[in-house]
Amino acid sequence: MIIKMHAATAPRRVAFLGLGVMGYPMAGHLACAGHQVTVYNRTAAKSAAWCAEYSAAVGKQDLLSQAATPRQAVQGAELVFCCVGNDADLRSVVLGADGALAGMQPGAIFVDHTTASANVARELYAQAKALGLHFVDAPVSGGQAGAQNGALTVMCGGDRAPFDAAEPVAMAFAKAFTYLGDSGAGQLAKMVNQICIASMVQGLAEAITFGQKAGLDMNLVLDVIGKGAAQSWQMDNRGKTMVADKFDFGFAVDWMRKDLGLVLDEARRNGAQLPVTALVDQFYADIQAMGGRRWDTSSLIKRLK
């Protein structure tokens, strides 16, 4: 567990829905910042484990609790944070008799960190607004390590006032929490992020493969070119692990394909031409066929060997 040093923020009553590899540490940072946190997860054992771990860490068991449904989890919360898998998962925790919107108090804010479609963000924004609630789409970048270190980059869409209210609390797990425009803008910005990553990883995979076939010491080459114009986060954090043929560092191929599917769907709607992204998406399909569904995204190099 990594506990982030937090700037002073008045304790708030919050809920966190979804305790996967991202949500678990994100909710933990909220607890460590002194907030009263109620968690919900489809697998209740995960919620119980989270409460036990962070109650021991913060020493205030009465501030942390778990709930059996999203509706129960959000009751009395000023802010509701969520991080689940996809559009369908998001609707399942937000809508319906046991969903979050059914239990939130008037004026409460729902901040969604799921990487989902811009369409579902706008849909849920409208549903929340009709009930006197607020919805902010706020997908994150930084991966599992960013969540654990409290250093995520958060891209937000929605109304400005709820964004401003959520920002100081969300900084418990973020290094940047940025407003980008109307509902859906956060999700669209995350799509831009994934387009960049896909092309960068493929380029890095080709470069390393070329260098290895040319007989170069690629660890040394990466040290050299990483000080110049070729430098990138992917090179710094995944270059040498790609050389070492290691691919268990977080964001999985299955999740990248889900994200690129959202990108390509949106591109069909807005007319953007994304030939490289579409090609890399198919390369990731090759990795899935090789059995690499849970390998991290740098495994693109495997299909070149």
Is residue 227 annotated as part of the catalytic site, yes or no? no
* Cα gap 25→281, rounded to integer Å: 29
Distances from the Cα of 259 to the Cαs of 67, 139, 207, 234, in angstroms?
Answer: 29, 11, 24, 18
* Cα gap 16→26, rounded to integer Å: 9
> One of 190, 227, 258, 302 is an active-site residue; which one?
190
- Identify the helix (H) or strand (E) that includes residue 131: none
Residue 58's CB: how many other CB atoms inside 10 A?
18
What does DSSP assign to residue 290?
T
For 225-257, b/e burial (b = at least 16 CB within 10 A) is eeeeeeebebbeebbbbbbeeebebbbbbbbbb
* Cα gap 129→125, rounded to integer Å: 6
For 184-209, b/e burial (b = at least 16 CB within 10 A) is bbbbbbbbebbbebbebbbbbbebbb
- For the chain, the C-alpha Rg in angstroms (whole number) is 20
* Cα gap 75→13, rounded to integer Å: 10
Q: Where are the alpha helices (DSSP H) in the chain?
A: 23-32, 44-58, 70-74, 87-94, 100-103, 118-130, 143-149, 160-170, 185-213, 218-225, 233-243, 253-270, 275-289
Residues known to be catalytic: 190
